[in-house]
Amino acid sequence: MKNVLVFGGGFAGVEATIYLRKANYNVTLVSDREYIYIYPTSIWIPTNKIEFSDVCIDLQKLQNVHKFDLIVDALENIDIKNNSYTLKSGKILKDFSHVVLAMGSSKMKHKGIENTLSICGDPEQSLLIRDALSEVIKKGSGKLCFGFGGNPKDSSAMRGGPGFEVLFNVHNMLKQKGVRDNFELTFFAPMAIPGKRLGDKALKMMDIYFKKLKINKHYGKKIKEFKKDGIIFEDDSKLESDFTMFIPAGCGHDLIEDSIFRTNEAGFIMTDDYSRVELKDKTIKNNVYAIGDIAALQGAEWKAKQGHIAEVMARNVAHNIQQSDLCLTNFKGYKEHVNIMCMMDSGDGASFVYRSSKKTMMIPLPIVGHWIKRAWGSYYKLSKLNKIPRIPGM
Ligand X SMILES: Cc1cc2nc3c(=O)[nH]c(=O)nc-3n(C[C@H](O)[C@H](O)[C@H](O)COP(=O)(O)OP(=O)(O)OC[C@H]3O[C@@H](n4cnc5c(N)ncnc54)[C@H](O)[C@@H]3O)c2cc1C
Q: How many residues bind ligand X (CB under 6 A)?
A: 34
Q: How many CB atoms lie within 10 A of CB 69?
A: 13
Q: Tell which positions 202-231 bind ligand X, by CB under 6 A.
A: none
Between 190 and 307, CB nearer to ligand X: 307
Whole-number Cα distances in Å, 360 to 305, 368, 370: 17, 21, 21
Please report, as residue ranges, which positions from 128 to 167 form the binding site for ligand X (by CB under 6 A): 159, 162
Which residues does 26 contact at the CB level (< 8 Å), separation at least 6?
1, 2, 3, 4, 68, 69
Q: Give the DSSP letter string of 113-171.
A: GGG-B-TTSSTTHHHHHHHHHHHHHHHS-EEEEEEE---TT-GGG---HHHHHHHHHHH
For the window 56-75, what string marks contact with ligand X as x by the rule CB under 6 A? ------------------xx
Name beta bridge partners: 271: 277
Q: How far is the CB of 325 from ligand X (least distance, A)?
A: 24
Q: Rule CB under 6 A: say whether 365 interacts with ligand X.
A: no
If binding is defined by CB under 6 A, does position 119 make contact with ligand X?
Answer: yes
How many Å apart are CA 392 and CA 312, to the nearest integer? 11
Instruction: Decide if residue 8 touches ligand X (CB under 6 A).
Output: yes
Sheet of strand 243-247, all strands in order from the earlier edge strand to the far edge: 215-219, 183-189, 142-148, 243-247
Nearest to 141 by CA among 165, 174, 104: 174
Residue 256 interacting with ligand X (CB under 6 A): no
Choose between 40 and 194: whose C-beta lies nearer to ligand X. Answer: 40
* Per-residue interface string for the shown chain with ligand X, residues 301-330, x marking contact by CB under 6 A: ----xxxx-x--------------------
Does position 342 interact with ligand X (CB under 6 A)? The reply is yes
Neighbouring residues of 38: CB distance < 8 A, sequence distance ≥ 6: 55, 56, 57, 377, 380, 381
Q: Which stretch binds ligand X (CB under 6 A): 53-61, 102-110, 173-181, 213-221?
A: 102-110
Is position 347 an interface residue for ligand X (rule: CB under 6 A)? no
Least distance in angstroms from the C-beta of 11 to ligand X: 4
For residues 16 and 221, which CB has a smaller minimum distance to ligand X in the complex? Answer: 16
Distance between CA 42 and CA 170 in Å, rounded?
Answer: 14
Q: Which of 6, 9, 239, 297 forms a contact with ligand X (CB under 6 A)?
A: 9
243 contacts ligand X (rule: CB under 6 A): no
The site for ligand X (CB under 6 A) is made up of: 7-13, 30-33, 39-40, 42-43, 74-75, 102-104, 119-120, 159, 162, 255, 292-294, 305-308, 310, 342
